[in-house]
């Protein structure tokens, strides 16, 4: 049975990216390659500030930047680039000698090459902090830490190779997300907790809590007429080259399910694992006492994890909330705005799923542990006979 489960999990990982991303093989997304510009790495050598361009008052500063290519067929070659600033801190790329940037290269018909500074090069520091994260997990967690990294990697693969291509291929956001959430929960819980009743109970509680969160968000979101277009990124999806007609409300609920999954998994595994330890320490503990112990553990976790979800969603909206506060907007107006209502329902639905995960996991753990105890006792009686 255990080997069968492992085989099914492995097949699901291998098959799901292929199924959900079939449209790539059929060439439906060929236009993506046509509209994307390849970026190359370069290092800033010199920066010479120029006089303001009176013919283009939109530019607040202009400079001649000398840079050296770090990769591509032009590696080692130096180019002089005319670079402008508009005074918009959110979009301007201010460069100094020694900075590393990403640039676009355009080869013109006359054989010349035009270079444009596109973005700062940030990946080096991202890789450094990722290495620190991986190192700490392995040092502190050891085998458990290695399992954590494996499940994290598989989760990323399922999202990048399964969820995102599937959404671009036009699959139902809610159904696809439920399938991916099921696989992530199954893989993560069984890898970290092992193939045992503790893990099975955690899976039942997690999936129940997450799906209830998704159901509540769908029903309430439909009633309050959320559009799913409360963010700039969602609006941009209307103009992508693939021409996909997205169900934006479905994408919103898909995000709610995925956003709450991690916290709910944490709660489910913590409760089932703690209850198993209590049973191992006291095999004769009454069912009612074991159930109450699981509920008490869940209540303690609930106090902090609910705050985690609320603060996570609120944190992403702080700039917007500051704008409303600065201009003294009426509370009634604020709470009825699509973007604010979306975040409130997102955080509350996720928290409801987390809270419901507690009794579901506790009850499932009690049932499965009692069943395991009965099987063990029957086996011992049979051996005595």
Q: What is the CA radius of gyration of the chain?
A: 27
Q: Which two tokens stand for residue 214?
A: 């998704």
User: What's the CA gap between 69 and 60, in Å, rounded?
Assistant: 27
Contact 213, 349 (CB under 8 A): yes
Residue 233 scores a pLDDT above 90: no
Q: What are the extents of the domains in the chain? A: 37-121, 126-384
| 128-136: average pLDDT | 94
* CATH topology classification for 37-121: OB fold (Dihydrolipoamide Acetyltransferase, E2P) (2.40.50)
SS3 52: coil
| 165-185: average pLDDT | 87
Instruction: Sheet with 113-120: list strands edge to edge.
Output: 78-85, 61-69, 39-49, 100-107, 113-120
**pLDDT at position 136:** 95
User: What's the CA gap between 166 and 109, in Å, rounded?
Assistant: 39
**pLDDT at position 17:** 44
Most confident by average pLDDT, 8-12, 106-110, 381-385: 106-110
**pLDDT at position 248:** 82
pLDDT tens per residue across span 68-91: 999 888 899 999 998 888 888 878
Q: Which of 82-86, 218-222, 282-286 has the lowest mean pLDDT?
A: 218-222
Q: How far is CA 188 from CA 139, 196, 238, in A?
A: 20, 13, 34
Tell me which long-range contacts 138-146 makes (C-beta under 8 A, separation of at least 24): 144/192
Per cent of the chain over pLDDT 90 is 20
Residue among 199, 179, 146 at smallest CA distance from 361: 199
Residue 296 scores a pLDDT above 60: yes
- Confidence band for 250, pLDDT divided at 50, 70 and 90: confident
Residue among 213, 226, 297, 198 at smallest CA distance from 262: 213
DSSP state for residue 335 in the 8-state scheme: H
Contacts of 228 (CB under 8 A, 6+ apart): 234, 247, 248, 249, 250, 251, 252, 342
* Between residues 121 and 378, the one the model is more confident about: 121
User: What's the CA gap between 130 and 118, in Å, rounded?
Assistant: 24
**pLDDT at position 11:** 46
Mean pLDDT for all residues in the chain? 80
User: What's the CA gap between 82 and 76, in Å, rounded?
Assistant: 19
Query: Which ranges in the chain belong to alpha helices (H)?
Result: 2-20, 22-25, 30-35, 123-141, 143-158, 164-168, 173-193, 197-223, 232-236, 248-281, 287-315, 318-326, 331-336, 338-384
**pLDDT at position 379:** 62
**pLDDT at position 256:** 80
Q: Which of 35-39, 204-208, 372-376 has the lowest mean pLDDT?
A: 35-39
* Between residues 31 and 363, the one the model is more confident about: 363
| 284-301: average pLDDT | 88
Q: How many CA atoms lie within 13 A of 16 on its CB side?
A: 27
Residue among 273, 313, 298, 272 at smallest CA distance from 358: 298
Residue 213 scores a pLDDT above 70: yes
End-to-end CA distance of the chain: 27
- Confidence band for 380, pLDDT divided at 50, 70 and 90: low
Q: Which of 94-103, 257-266, 365-374 has the lowest mean pLDDT?
A: 365-374
Residue among 176, 138, 133, 137 at smallest CA distance from 158: 176
User: What's the CA gap between 364 and 360, in Å, rounded?
Assistant: 6
* Between residues 247 and 158, the one the model is more confident about: 158
- Confidence band for 133, pLDDT divided at 50, 70 and 90: very high
User: What's the CA gap between 185 and 265, in Å, rounded?
Assistant: 7
Place of tokens 């290269």: 105
Residue 23 scores a pLDDT above 70: no
Contacts of 351 (CB under 8 A, 6+ apart): 260, 306, 309, 310
Residue 257 scores a pLDDT above 90: no
**pLDDT at position 381:** 59
Contact 366, 287 (CB under 8 A): yes
Residue 348 scores a pLDDT above 60: yes
| 281-292: average pLDDT | 88
Residue 304 scores a pLDDT above 50: yes
Contact 257, 215 (CB under 8 A): no
Q: What is the 3-state secondary structure (H, E, C) of 259-301?
A: HHHHHHHHHHHHHHHHHHHHHHHCCCCCHHHHHHHHHHHHHHH
SS3 88: coil
- Confidence band for 99, pLDDT divided at 50, 70 and 90: very high
């Amino acid at each position: 049975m255990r080997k069968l489960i492992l085989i099914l999990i492995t097949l699901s990982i291998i098959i799901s990216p292929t199924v959900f991303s079939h449209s790539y093989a059929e060439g439906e997304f060929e236009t993506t390659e046509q509209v994307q510009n390849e970026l190359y790495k370069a290092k800033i050598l010199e920066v010479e500030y120029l006089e303001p361009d009176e013919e283009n008052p939109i530019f607040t500063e202009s400079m001649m930047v000398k840079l050296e290519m770090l990769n591509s067929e032009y590696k080692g070659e130096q180019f002089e680039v005319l670079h402008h600033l508009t005074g918009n801190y959110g979009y301007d790329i201010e460069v100094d000698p020694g900075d590393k940037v990403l640039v676009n290269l355009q080869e013109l018909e006359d054989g010349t090459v035009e270079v444009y500074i596109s973005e700062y090069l940030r990946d080096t520091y991202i890789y450094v902090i990722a290495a620190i994260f991986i190192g700490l997990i392995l040092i502190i967690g050891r085998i458990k830490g290695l399992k954590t990294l494996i499940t994290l990697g598989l989760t990323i693969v399922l999202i990048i190779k399964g969820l995102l291509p599937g959404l671009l291929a036009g699959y139902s956001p809610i159904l696809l997300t439920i399938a991916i959430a099921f696989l992530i929960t199954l893989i993560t819980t069984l890898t970290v907790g092992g193939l045992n009743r503790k893990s099975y109970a955690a899976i039942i509680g997690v999936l129940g809590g997450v799906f209830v969160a998704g159901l509540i968000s769908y029903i309430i979101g439909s009633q309050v007429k959320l559009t799913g277009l409360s963010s700039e990124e969602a609006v941009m999806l209307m103009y992508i080259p693939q021409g996909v007609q997205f169900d934006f409300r479905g994408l919103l609920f898909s995000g709610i399910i995925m956003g709450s999954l991690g916290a709910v998994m944490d709660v489910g595994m913590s409760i089932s694992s703690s209850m198993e330890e209590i049973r191992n320490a006291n095999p004769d503990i009454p069912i009612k006492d074991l159930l109450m112990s699981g509920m008490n553990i869940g209540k303690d976790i609930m106090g902090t994890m609910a705050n985690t979800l609320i603060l996570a969603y609120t944190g992403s909206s702080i700039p917007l909330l500051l704008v409303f506060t600065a201009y003294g907007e009426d509370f009634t107006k604020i709470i009825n705005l699509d973007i604010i209502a979306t975040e409130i329902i997102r955080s509350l639905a996720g928290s409801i799923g987390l809270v419901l995960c507690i009794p579901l996991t506790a009850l499932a753990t009690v049932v499965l542990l009692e069943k395991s105890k009965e099987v063990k006792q029957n086996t011992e009686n049979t051996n005595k006979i």
